[in-house]
Amino acid sequence: MEPTPESLTLTVLGCGTMGVAILSGILSSLSSFASLRLPNSASSGTSTPTTLLPTRFHDASKTPTRLPSKFIACVKRPESASRVRRAFEEFTTHGGTPPVQVYTGNNVEGVRGADVVILGCKPQMYAELLGEEGMSEALEGKLLVSILAGVKIAALREVVHSSTRVVRAMPNTASKIRESMTVISAEDDISPEEKALVSWIFSQIGRSLVLGEKHMDACTALCGSGPAFYALIVEAMADGGVMMGLPRAEAQMMAAQTMQGAGRMVLAGQHPAIIREQVSTPAGCTICGLLILEDGKVRSTIARTIQEATNMAAGLGKQ
């Protein structure tokens, strides 16, 4: 994927589980864009974003003028570099160009080559990474998008160059299949073009919305940790099916597809309480099951799970 004059280089500084998920989602989005491009636009030598972008969630009127088309991933260990390279193999171009350049132990170089940097290390490590010799200069004038749980914009600003703009985003592992829910938080120093770029990036890999930073810890619990919580519920539903004689694989698929269906009905505008009432036939089996859930305080347990995970998220990243 050759960069064009309008294109940007995106570096993921600390490319582990989330970095790979985000880059895979973006690469997958860009490859479906490439396959959708009209022949004459492909031969014109330009890659100006058009409404042909295959984004389910992006408002085309807010497409930034420059989009990422070159990618760098920074990791610490050589074995991670091999894992990251393997993860992106499927996006290798016909000419054999690797879709992502992987840097090991050379963060400053990776950031120097970037226009936009996604910070994807563990929360406790940001000061070490951003404090490396030469890093402040490498980040000068650039946009830094932190996906770190619990680390505030003000804390990040303290360790970067004064001209670096900092945005927070909280995506989840479903970025990889372009079904993330990402919450973005930015302050007043971020230009409309930069906001559009961050929204574009995360709308390639799912839905995104903007909220004030005071909500970020709750969003971390709900969106960031959410896949783990829902996975536990899917397992529990499947276990119930297995208990009643269903084969495991089929029970798991039924549980996951039914969860997706319920979620999509809510996204389509149905209130969860209406969904619940419509399924609950008088004297039927659904109301019987719902009462068991209420007896087990499942509603309160799940709500308190978000409460506790939010409190925990708030404490992450403390040195």
The count of other CB atoms within 10 Å of the CB of residue 141 is 9
Q: Is 51 annotated as a binding residue?
A: no
Please count the other Cβ atoms lying within 10 Å of the Cβ belonging to residue 177.
13
Within residues 207-236, the interface with ligand A1CAB by CB under 6 A covers 220, 224-225
> Between 140 and 159, how does the x/- string for binding to ligand A1CAB read (CB under 6 A)?
---------x----------
22 binds ligand A1CAB (CB under 6 A): no
Phi, psi of 236 (to 5 degrees): -65, -40
- Angstrom distance (rounded) from CA 306 to CA 299: 11
Supply the minimum distance, in Å, between the C-beta of residue 204 and ligand NDP: 16
120 known member of a binding site: no
Per DSSP, 65 falls in state S
Is 106 annotated to bind ligand?
A: no
14 is in an annotated binding site: yes
Q: Take residue 247 and report the two structure tokens written for it.
A: 């084969």
Q: From the list 121, 166, 181, 251, which residue makes contact with ligand NDP (rule: CB under 6 A)?
A: 121
Residue 8 or residue 102: which is nearer to ligand NDP going by CB? 102
Both tokens of residue 53?
Answer: 């972008």
Q: In the range 212-251, which residues lie near ligand NDP by CB under 6 A?
A: 224
- The distance of closest approach from Cβ of residue 49 to ligand A1CAB in the complex, given in angstroms and rounded to an integer, is 30
What tokens were used for 101? Answer: 């350049």
Cβ 22 to ligand A1CAB shortest distance, Å? 13
C-alpha 183/C-alpha 199 separation (Å) is 9
User: Does position 74 bind ligand NDP by CB under 6 A?
Assistant: yes
Residue type, 239: D
Measured between alpha carbons, how far is 48 from 30 in angstroms, rounded to an integer?
Answer: 13
Percentage helix, strand, coil for the chain under 3-state DSSP, each rounded to 5: 55, 15, 30
| # residues contacting ligand NDP (CB under 6 A) | 26
Residues that bind ligand A1CAB (CB under 6 A): 149, 220, 224-225, 316
Residues in binding site for NADPH: 107
Residues that bind ligand NDP (CB under 6 A): 14-19, 74-77, 80, 107, 120-123, 125, 129, 147-149, 170-173, 224
